[in-house]
Amino acid sequence: MTDAELRVLDSLDKRRRTFVAGRDLVHQGQSNQAAYILMSGWACSYKLLADGQRQIVDFQIPGDFLGLRSVVLHISDHSIEPVTDIEVTEVHVSDLMEAFAQTPRLATAVFWAVSRDEAMVVEHLVGIGRRDAAERMAHFLLELCARLSLVGLGSKAGFACPLTQYLIADAVGLSSVHVNRVLRHLREQGFLTFRNGFVTIHDYDGLVRFADFEISYLDQIGPLLR
């Protein structure tokens, strides 16, 4: 979390809640009163299609907002599911709106958070639309690595990752079988190893080059507040 985000957090009424892995926090179509800030654990936001297929839009890690867009649009266009058991603090719409009115700087900060979120979705879109399976996977893991590193949960050497290959498949738009093959490929190329819930990166720079990973969309720290 950035300073800005912390200040938002501090100004709001806090109520801690916990949710267990696999049970949806938010359902597609539901209308929401509250958003959450994820304190520990991982979650994912996804959409289901009529034919039962699933597309995971993004994974959330500690420090991220959950369901902020749902609150603003007053209806959730997606579902949110905890990947692991999670802890969150609740943020009520009314509080948020009041905070906006009182301190425009807070509004700006949240605004920035939403925009950064959108930038990530856009990058994800580009990956699925135009990168082949291996590049896409590499890019996906590098983004996770960068985000986790920002909150002290990872480094260029690797990170703990509770995702199954099925979850990854639904995120990168591949079949789980192909995810497995691609991970093997990346391992055999000496780029990284994903085993037992750990991603170990053997060749960070090579991976960045291979995936055409451009970190700039992530590491802007609330520049409007400068």
Give the nearest distance from C-beta 52 to a copy of itself in angstroms.
10
182 CB-near residues (< 8 Å, 6+ apart): 133, 134, 137, 174
Question: Which whole-number Å values give the CA distances from 178 to 113, 169, 226, in the listed order?
Answer: 33, 8, 44
By C-beta, is 13 or 118 nearer to a copy of itself? 118
The distance of closest approach from Cβ of residue 210 to DNA in the complex, given in angstroms and rounded to an integer, is: 14
Binds DNA by CB under 7 A, chosen from 173, 210, 221, 222: 173
Instruction: Name which of residues 101 to 160 contact DNA (CB under 7 A).
Output: 132-134
Please give the structure tokens belonging to residue 29. 């179509």
HEC-encoded secondary structure of 5-21: HHHHHHHCCCEEEEECC
Stretch touching DNA by CB under 7 A, among 9-17, 31-39, 75-83, 172-180: 172-180
- Our CA dihedral for 19, 24, 29, 31, rounded to 10 degrees, sits at -10
Query: Which token pair is 76?
Result: 């959730």
Give the one entry of a copy of itself, DNA, none that residue 75 binds, where binding means its C-beta sits below a cut-off of 5 to 8 angstroms depending on kind. a copy of itself
Q: Which helix (H) or strand (E) holds 66?
A: strand 65-66
Q: Is 197 in the site for a copy of itself (CB under 8 A)?
A: no
Distance CA 49, CA 54 (A): 6
- By CB under 8 A, is residue 104 in contact with a copy of itself? yes
Site residues (CB under 8 A) for a copy of itself? 29, 47, 49-51, 53-55, 57, 68-69, 72-75, 77-78, 93, 97, 100-101, 104, 107-108, 111-112, 114-119, 121-126, 128-131, 172-173, 212, 216-217, 220, 223-224
